Amino acid sequence: MPDAIRAGHLPAANPAREFETRPTPVQRRWLARGLEQPGGKLPLFDVDGQRIADRTVRSCIAHGWAEPWFDNPLKRDWLVCRITHLGRVVAEESPISRRPRVRT
Does some domain include residue 101? no
pLDDT value, residue 32: 95
Please tell me the predicted confidence (pLDDT) of residue 102. 53
Predicted TM-score (pTM) of the model is: 0.70
Whether 83 is covered by a domain: the verdict is yes
**DSSP summary character for residue 8:** T
Has residue 31 been placed in a domain?
yes
Residue-wise pLDDT tens digits, 60-100: 999 999 999 887 788 878 888 999 999 999 999 866 444 44
Domain extent at residue 9: 3-93
Give how many domains the chain has, as a whole number.
1
Task: Give the separation between CA 102 and CA 104, rounded to whole angstroms.
Answer: 6
Q: Give the C-alpha separation, 26 to 7, whole Å.
A: 28
Say if CB 73 and CB 80 are below 8 A apart.
no
Answer yes or no: is 99 within a domain: no
Distance separating alpha carbons of residues 80 and 72, to the nearest angstrom: 7
CATH assignment at residue 64 = 1.10.10
Contact 29, 45 (CB under 8 A): no
Amino acid 37: pLDDT: 92
Each residue's pLDDT tens digit, 1-49: 445 454 445 445 555 444 568 899 999 999 999 999 999 999 999 999 9
